[in-house]
Structure 1
């Protein structure tokens, strides 16, 4: 759950402060399963995703210094979360097996008809 506002006519009434509630899905990709026959340690991936989301949850994103001057669109937030997870992979926080990952996709769902994804390679 976040609050934010946007700049630009394209956003219409969303230029005013409003709330958004998202369901977040993270998808991890690799070409072959690792030695344990998994894509990623789901426990470690879940912990890291929770930590990334904890920095955003119940915040007015307009007040977050790192987002100053940025339209924190659903797409932007999906990219931000994917980048944070990629940093965790590179730092070894998702385990050594995660170093074989080839990509991450993050989807933020606002409803069954409003969602956006961002996919990045590793």
Structure 2
């Protein structure tokens, strides 16, 4: 299995519902390092998993759509706890959509959101 990982960062504000979240029930900020790993069983005809520049740009566009937003005010997330796990899936799904035809031949996409150097969450989907 071959893979390429591209990176960006994301800054949001949000709050959570539920006692399990303790003080995070109040509005707070979160800054994530975002890694997107694209996997392919065999290299394409150009000898690559995917064009790194194109993948970096696609991830940047996805992140830009969420960056500096209060997610509590986003209609797409009404009634949802925008946990790190939830956001990892959201970024992965939006990235696959943004890649369009460039996703052909990929077998999976994994997105990891690093909350800090000691905690992160990931979501991986098959294509």
Do the structures match in fold with TM over 0.5?
yes
* Aligned residue among 61, 77, 88 for 2:87: 77
Unaligned runs of 5+ in 1: none
| Equivalent residues, number | 117
Give deviations 1:41-90, integer Å, cap 9, x for gaps: 1111111111110011111000000000100000000000000112123x
Please name the residue that 1:3 is paired with: 13
Does residue 120 in structure 1 map to residue 125 in structure 2? yes
Query: Are 1:16 and 2:26 matched, yes or no?
Result: yes
User: Where in structure 1 do 4 or more consecutive aligned residues deviate above 6 Å?
Assistant: none
**Equivalent-residue separation in structure 2 for 1:88 and 1:48 (angstroms):** 6
Structure 2: gaps spanning 5 or more residues: 1-10
Match of 2:56 among 43, 46, 49: 46
**How large is the RMSD of aligned CA atoms in angstroms?**
0.9
Structure 2 equivalent of residue 35 of structure 1: 45
Which of the pair is proportionally richer in strand?
Answer: 2
- So what's the TM-score if we normalise by structure 1? 0.92
Question: Cα distance, 1:9 vs. partner?
Answer: 1.0
